[in-house]
Structure 1
Amino acid sequence: MEQDLKTEATRILITETAFQQFYKNGFKATSINEIMKATGLSKGAFYHNFKNKDELGVLVVKAELSSIIYEAMITPLLEKGEAKTILKNTFLNKFQAFTNDEKLMGCPVNNLINEIGGSPNLLNEALKGLIDTWVKAVIQIIERGHSDGSIKPETNPQQAAIYLVSSFEGMRGIRKLYQDDTNWNAYSAALENYIDQL
């Protein structure tokens, strides 16, 4: 039992450290040696817990990145109240809460998609699963808006959901190119206007 807890603690430490390293330096540029040096553990500890960096990457997506998306963008959509208001608050509150560092570094999910997207592997599948879950949550709140009358019945839930998720992530990627918030603020206003018109 004690050994199991130690093994789980080691896996968590490696996963959390890998997430920080991938976010800061990129997945491909981060070596197993760098991750293990940052944890203070031996390379043997890595191979005791993971077959390779791709397997670790999948766990980073399923644990760290999923947690970020769920906390910020999915769980708030489950709140009670008018659907359109919840949808708008979820997207705008999170968008306006990003720190300057987060704006400069972009979204860790989007960064990873841009870096390894399209590769036919388990890491790519994990990322697709995460985006699919987010899109489905947005579809559900839009369908709820149809029921409570806050969203027009002609609004296509699938189209609106993929537009909201992809534009939100896209702006986070674009913001990395700029040193000011001119485009960021313009997008925020456009996002609010778009949701108001749903």
Structure 2
Amino acid sequence: MSKAEKTKQLIIKKSATLFNTKGYTSTSLSDITEATGLTKGGIYGNFENKDELALEVYKYNSGLLGKSMARSLGDEFPTTIEKLNAFVDFYRKSWKVVFETGGCPLMNAATEADDQFPILKKKVTESFESWIRKIAEVIIQGQKKGEINRNINAFEFGSLFIMLVEGGILLSKTSGDEKFLNLALDRILIMIEQELNIIPS
């Protein structure tokens, strides 16, 4: 990696929590220079403007969370039910870190990704679609292996899982009480056991 690339990555990483906690619109150039220790010239020498940096920070933040989520749905867990349970467990265990760094980067960006920042809105939409698709693909593979109820719609359940998780995070972050996220995760586990599992427990 060249010196310029290293500097660019440093700016993105140092700005990641800042944008996620303070907001993409509210974060000022002065905030960024303070967080990175660089001058305004140093920032603009690597990014055309704040919007370009904001997009790179969003891709960085959402990418980190996406990789962690993907690992929970990976080959480490042999059965589909175990993969889906691991997905729930990931959020159960990582909520403190998520809250300390400002909350879910997708949800935070979504609240600001209006017509004033259409490129960010497009990226957020793509991220949510990708997450839903990943969960749906795991469910579909489970249906093919005879582990998941073939009568359910995988994409509908993928959407419901994300809706419940994001809603739980929003209420818990707003209230400072993790019970709302845990309530959402408990509901997902019930859906997995009673609606997806071919042998309900």
Aligned partner of 1:153: which letter? R
Q: 2:90 aligns with which of 77, 90, 94?
A: 94
CA distance in 1, matches of 2:95, 2:131: 22
CA distance in 2, matches of 1:111, 1:39: 22
CA distance in 2, matches of 1:136, 1:73: 13
Q: Report the CA distance shift for 1:184/1:99 in structure 2 as closer, same or farther (over 3 A).
A: closer
Q: 2:175 aligns with which of 171, 175, 178?
A: 178
| TM-score, normalisation: structure 1 | 0.88
Aligned length: 193
Q: What is the DSSP-based 3-state SS (H/G/I as helix, E as strand, rest coil) of the residue aligned with 1:98?
A: helix
Q: What is the DSSP-based 3-state SS (H/G/I as helix, E as strand, rest coil) of the residue aligned with 1:177?
A: helix
Say which structure, 1 or 2, has more relative contact order (CA 8 Å, 6+ apart). 1
Q: What is the DSSP-based 3-state SS (H/G/I as helix, E as strand, rest coil) of the residue aligned with 1:149?
A: coil
Q: Report the CA distance shift for 1:99/1:64 in structure 2 as closer, same or farther (over 3 A).
A: closer
Q: Report the CA distance shift for 1:63/1:178 in structure 2 as closer, same or farther (over 3 A).
A: closer
Alpha-carbon contact 2:20-2:105 (below 8 Å) kept: yes
Alpha-carbon contact 1:113-1:127 (below 8 Å) kept: yes
Say if 2:72 is the partner of 1:76: yes
**Match of residue 35 from structure 1:** 32
**Structure 2 unaligned residues grouped into runs of 5+:** 197-201
Moved over 6 A (4+): none
Give the CA deviation at 1:67: 2.1
**Structure 1 unaligned residues grouped into runs of 5+:** none
Q: Superposition pairs for residues 31-180 of structure 1, below 5 Å?
A: 31-70=28-67, 72-79=68-75, 81-90=78-87, 92-100=88-96, 102-103=98-99, 105-117=102-114, 119=116, 121-180=118-177
Sequence identity (%) = 25
| TM-score, normalisation: structure 2 | 0.87
